[in-house]
């Protein structure tokens, strides 16, 4: 950090000047130069949005079977999985699930114990160093709020419309588009060892394509076992993980705004009545 | 300007209290009877809206502080804990974060209303100066508040903004170290910012009380800018203004609630959901929207002026853009307050508004090419408005005839 302190001399006019550009263009984290994102129709979009618990259960299955061997979810508790507005697993299912996981607990003679619904999801690696050692030097980011730490960049006027539509699904759209855009690299691009080309990023990343057709076996035959379906399900699940109270927040918002509209109407009448005898 | 009807306690308890602590008399005179021009329009409701916002921010902030942990290793997760596990935490935290933006929106409305109607002119100079002071305190408070969630934007905003002070000759470096509590932004920065973020709103509240006290000496300005002449020009504060303000507050709450409940993160930046990391610089470091015009001015100065480096120059213009507001009452010499009666002033004023919006936009763009050029033009006009336009216009302008009184202007409106 001492070094960065000196590096930042003149930052005001130097780096930052060149670096800025994002904010009012709302959600844009990665400098995406690849293919245009295909925005999905999410059940949790819009003012009446809520999660589809079936989709979240499938998303959890993808998370558990594919992602969780490398990615953590340190802010998610097992109990969240049975809470209102979420995947709605039963409490017994969650108990059974939690018991399959080990929590390190130095207070105990054994040094570990089975997880309970009150525990948070255990990290797949004890330290960042372990994680990097197992992942070719890359550090798989924690999933807890990842869906809110990403966004799709949009051109004017589309980003401006977001303020009126309340578009907050940029993170889920980002994750979906990342997952379905693992393609062959263009001929003029040399992909380094241990990296994979992603057409959405328009660049390479350390994570290889995680999803393949049929990699997760969904119960029943009604839901297709395709990369697109998996990608949509895990994106929705990650959005829920990042924003577990979304449905109750939105329904409370609807009631609040209806109340405020009525109150505003009544206040206007009060005001008009009071001022009716004053020329103003 | 004390009360029209006065306070005449009949109840013995009230009389007893009145002789010892005349708080009811004070309330009656200043919160109920206070004579207010009857022609003030809805632009005047932002004062009450701002008072409301300050209270909202203090209440939600106190609750958040009960659950927040100001330790660099725990801060990020503690904010998530509030969002996830605290009852209604997502709403309280969202209200506080969106509230900062709504607060600034209201304060800009309030300031631009004052600029148009000449509310800064004699005898209201002190009200204006206290207002600018509140604005500066708000900027400091919101900046420190933005650092507390300890995301990437928090961390890098803290790094960049504190770095501004390092440009000051001689004392810059010590100030920088004092602000950060070390050579780099770290735990010591976070803890002192938390402490100051809790302190400053109460200082704001104190200055707000002075602001209102100063307001209650000459009373409100009004859209005509003509002083109150008789009691026919005024209405008592309660119920006329209280109910009108309350209506405005409720209307203001509608977009506020829209953001809190449906898009609480839209005014922020996704990068702030990544925990602070001193080793990784985000690709875009942008301040919150309400700092953008001043940020554009800061970055517009990319050239050295004599012995002043571009960096110091940027800081001088950045600071100057705020400091100049303190001198506004003496820069605008026009005796006519209201812009409505100033034909030459009006186009320059609206150009200033457009220019300010343009600077807001430019503050979010990369400082290069056409954006940088426009930032320079915008900065030049910002300063020219105060230093050239207002002094010159006030000398050469022939104002339109003013109404003889507020009542006359009101009746005139009805006749048209």
Q: What is the pLDDT of residues B73-84, one digit of tens each?
A: 999 999 999 999
* pLDDT computed for residue A33 by the predictor: 65
Q: Return the residue in A3, A7, A9, A13 with the most chain B beta carbons within 10 A, the one to mutate for interface testing.
A: A13
Residue B356 has pLDDT above 50, yes or no: yes
B265 touches chain A (CB under 8 A): yes
The answer to whether the Cβ–Cβ distance between A21 and B286 falls below 8 Å is yes
Residues 6+ apart with CB under 8 A from B47: B110, B245
Supply A163's token pair: 């303020």
* Average pLDDT for A187-215: 93
* pLDDT computed for residue A19 by the predictor: 34
Nearest to A171 among B270, B281, B315 (CB): B270
CA distances A260 to A129, B127, B247, B339, Å, are 52, 32, 10, 34
Chain A residue numbers with beta carbons less than 8 Å from the beta carbon of B186 are 1
- Model pLDDT for residues A224-277, shown as the tens digit of each residue: 999 999 999 999 999 999 999 999 999 999 999 999 999 999 999 999 999 999
* pLDDT computed for residue A30 by the predictor: 44
The answer to whether the Cβ–Cβ distance between B285 and A257 falls below 8 Å is no
- Model pLDDT for residues B389-400, shown as the tens digit of each residue: 999 999 999 999
B282 touches chain A (CB under 8 A): yes
For domain A25-76+120-244, the question of CATH label 3.40.50.300 is answered with no
The answer to whether the Cβ–Cβ distance between B299 and A17 falls below 8 Å is yes
Q: Return the residue in A2, A3, A16, A18 with the most chain B beta carbons within 10 A, the one to mutate for interface testing.
A: A16
Pair B40, B406: CB distance under 8 Å = no
Chain A residue numbers with beta carbons less than 8 Å from the beta carbon of B281 are 15, 19
Kindly indicate the confidence band of residue A10, based on its pLDDT and cuts at 50, 70 and 90.
very low
- Model pLDDT for residues B102-122, shown as the tens digit of each residue: 999 999 999 999 999 999 999
Contacts 24+ apart (CB under 8 A), B125-131: B125/B329, B125/B330, B126/B214, B127/B211, B127/B214, B127/B215, B128/B328, B128/B329, B129/B326, B129/B329, B130/B207, B130/B210, B130/B211, B130/B214, B131/B211
Residue A214 has pLDDT above 70, yes or no: yes
Chain B residue numbers with beta carbons less than 8 Å from the beta carbon of A245 are 83-84, 90
Mean pLDDT over the full length of chain A: 88
B163 touches chain A (CB under 8 A): yes
Residues B33-55 as b or e (16 or more Cβ within 10 Å = b): bbbbbbbbeebbbbbbbbbbbbe
* pLDDT computed for residue A140 by the predictor: 96
- Model pLDDT for residues B138-187, shown as the tens digit of each residue: 999 999 999 999 999 999 999 999 999 999 989 999 999 999 999 999 99
Chain B residue numbers with beta carbons less than 8 Å from the beta carbon of A81 are none
Q: How far apart are CA A102 and CA A104, in angstroms?
A: 6
- Model pLDDT for residues B321-341, shown as the tens digit of each residue: 999 999 999 999 999 999 999
- Model pLDDT for residues B227-255, shown as the tens digit of each residue: 999 999 999 999 999 999 999 999 999 99
* Average pLDDT for A130-151: 95
* pLDDT computed for residue B230 by the predictor: 93
The answer to whether the Cβ–Cβ distance between A151 and B253 falls below 8 Å is no
Residue A2 has pLDDT above 70, yes or no: no
From A224's Cα to the closest Cα of chain B, the distance in A is 31
Q: Considering only alpha carbons, which residue of chain A is nearest residue B152? A: A149
Question: How close are the terminal C-alpha atoms of chain B, in Å?
Answer: 32
* pLDDT computed for residue B19 by the predictor: 95
* pLDDT computed for residue A35 by the predictor: 87
Residue A72 has pLDDT above 60, yes or no: yes
The answer to whether the Cβ–Cβ distance between A8 and B159 falls below 8 Å is yes
The answer to whether the Cβ–Cβ distance between B164 and A22 falls below 8 Å is no
The answer to whether the Cβ–Cβ distance between A29 and B244 falls below 8 Å is no
Sorted by where each begins, the domain ranges of chain A are: 25-76+120-244, 252-280
The answer to whether the Cβ–Cβ distance between B247 and A270 falls below 8 Å is yes
Q: Which CATH superfamily is domain B17-287+327-342+399-415 in?
A: Cytochrome Bc1 Complex; Chain C (1.20.810.10)
Proportion of chain B above pLDDT 70, given as a percent: 98
* pLDDT computed for residue B415 by the predictor: 42
Q: How far is CA B165 from the centre of its chain?
A: 22
From A219's Cα to the closest Cα of chain B, the distance in A is 30
Residue B307 has pLDDT above 90, yes or no: no
B135 touches chain A (CB under 8 A): no
* Average pLDDT for B28-46: 96
Q: Considering only alpha carbons, which residue of chain B is nearest residue A162? A: B266
Residue A20 has pLDDT above 60, yes or no: no
Nearest to A264 among B167, B247, B295 (CB): B247
Nearest to B270 among A27, A75, A268 (CB): A27
Q: Return the residue in A20, A42, A166 with the most chain B beta carbons within 10 A, the one to mutate for interface testing.
A: A20
The answer to whether the Cβ–Cβ distance between A13 and B260 falls below 8 Å is no
* Average pLDDT for B9-26: 95
The answer to whether the Cβ–Cβ distance between B246 and A261 falls below 8 Å is no
The answer to whether the Cβ–Cβ distance between B251 and A75 falls below 8 Å is no
The answer to whether the Cβ–Cβ distance between B262 and A47 falls below 8 Å is yes
The answer to whether the Cβ–Cβ distance between B284 and A12 falls below 8 Å is no
The answer to whether the Cβ–Cβ distance between B265 and A148 falls below 8 Å is yes
Q: Considering only alpha carbons, which residue of chain A is nearest residue B166? A: A9
Does the interface predicted TM-score (ipTM) exceed 0.85? Answer: yes
* pLDDT computed for residue B413 by the predictor: 57
Q: Considering only alpha carbons, which residue of chain B is nearest residue A142? A: B274
Angle between helices A53-65 and A227-242 (to 10 degrees): 100
From B32's Cα to the closest Cα of chain A, the distance in A is 14
**Number of A:B CB contacts under 8 A?**
200
Sorted by where each begins, the domain ranges of chain B are: 17-287+327-342+399-415
Pair B141, B204: CB distance under 8 Å = yes
Pair A200, A152: CB distance under 8 Å = no
The answer to whether the Cβ–Cβ distance between A250 and B262 falls below 8 Å is yes
Residue A18 has pLDDT above 50, yes or no: no
B286 touches chain A (CB under 8 A): yes
């Amino acid at each position: 950090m001492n070094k960065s302190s000196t590096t930042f001399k003149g930052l005001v006019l130097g780096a930052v000047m060149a670096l800025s550009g994002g904010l009012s263009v709302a959600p844009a984290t990665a400098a995406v130069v690849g293919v245009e994102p295909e925005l999905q129709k999410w059940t949790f979009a819009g003012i009446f949005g809520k999660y589809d618990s079936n989709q979240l259960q499938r998303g959890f299955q993808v998370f558990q079977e594919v992602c969780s061997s490398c990615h953590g979810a340190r802010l998610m508790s097992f109990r969240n999985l049975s809470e209102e507005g979420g995947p709605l697993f039963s409490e017994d299912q969650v108990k059974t699930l939690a018991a399959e996981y080990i929590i390190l607990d130095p207070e105990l003679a054994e040094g570990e114990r089975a997880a309970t619904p009150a525990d948070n999801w255990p990290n797949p690696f004890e330290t960042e160093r372990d994680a990097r050692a197992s992942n070719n030097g890359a550090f798989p980011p924690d999933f807890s709020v990842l869906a809110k730490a990403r966004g799709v960049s949009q051109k004017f006027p589309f980003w401006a419309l977001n303020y009126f539509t309340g578009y907050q699904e940029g993170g889920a759209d980002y994750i979906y588009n990342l997952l379905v855009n693992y393609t062959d690299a263009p001929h003029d691009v040399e992909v380094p060892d241990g990296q994979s080309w992603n057409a959405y990023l328009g660049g390479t990343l350390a994570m290889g394509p995680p999803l393949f057709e049929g990699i997760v076996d969904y119960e029943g035959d009604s839901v297709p076992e395709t990369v697109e379906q998996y990608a949509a399900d895990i994106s929705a699940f990650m959005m829920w993980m990042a924003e577990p109270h979304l449905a109750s927040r939105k329904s409370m918002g609807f009631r609040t705004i209806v109340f405020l509209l009525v109150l505003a109407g009544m206040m206007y009448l009060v005001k008009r009545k009071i001022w009716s005898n004053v020329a103003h | 300007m004390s009360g029209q009807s006065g306070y005449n306690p009949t109840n013995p308890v009230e009389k007893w209290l009145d002789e010892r602590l005349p708080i009811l008399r004070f309330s009656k005179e200043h919160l109920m009877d206070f004579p207010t021009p009857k022609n003030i329009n809805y632009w005047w409701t932002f004062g009450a809206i701002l008072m409301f916002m300050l209270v909202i921010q203090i209440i939600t902030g106190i609750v958040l502080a009960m659950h927040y942990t100001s330790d660099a290793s725990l801060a990020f997760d503690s904010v998530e804990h509030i969002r996830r596990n605290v009852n209604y935490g997502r709403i309280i935290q969202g209200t506080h974060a969106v509230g900062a933006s709504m607060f600034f929106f209201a304060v800009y409305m309030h300031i631009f209303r004052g600029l148009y109607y000449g509310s800064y002119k004699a005898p209201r100079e002190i009200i204006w100066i206290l207002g600018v002071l509140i604005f500066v305190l708000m900027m400091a408070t919101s900046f420190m508040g933005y650092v507390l969630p300890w995301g990437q934007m928090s961390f890098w905003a803290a790094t960049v903004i504190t770095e501004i002070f390092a440009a000051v000759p001689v004392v810059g470096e010590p100030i920088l170290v004092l602000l950060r509590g070390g050579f780099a932004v770290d735990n010591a920065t976070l803890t002192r910012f938390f402490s100051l973020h809790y302190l400053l709103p109460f200082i704001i509240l104190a200055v707000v009380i002075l602001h209102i006290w100063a307001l209650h000496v000459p009373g409100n300005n009004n859209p005509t800018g003509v002083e109150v002449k008789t009691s026919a020009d005024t209405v008592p504060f309660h119920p006329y203004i209280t109910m009108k303000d309350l209506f405005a507050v409720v209307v203001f709450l509608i977009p506020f609630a829209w953001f809190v409940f449906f898009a609480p993160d839209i005014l922020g930046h996704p990068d702030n959901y990544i925990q602070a990391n001193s080793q990784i610089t985000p690709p875009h470091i942008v301040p919150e929207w309400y700092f953008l015009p001043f940020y554009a001015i800061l970055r517009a100065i990319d050239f050295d002026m004599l012995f002043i480096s571009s960096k110091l120059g940027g800081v001088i213009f950045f600071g100057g853009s705020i400091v100049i507001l303190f001198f506004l009452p003496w820069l605008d010499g026009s005796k006519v307050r209201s812009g409505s009666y100033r034909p030459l002033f009006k186009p320059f004023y609206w150009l200033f508004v457009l220019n300010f919006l343009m600077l807001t936009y430019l503050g979010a763009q990369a400082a290069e090419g056409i954006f940088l050029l426009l930032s320079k033009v915008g900065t030049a006009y910002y300063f020219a408005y105060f230093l050239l336009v207002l002094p010159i216009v006030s000398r050469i302008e022939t104002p339109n005839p003013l109404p003889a009184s507020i009542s006359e202007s009101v009746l005139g409106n009805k006749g048209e």
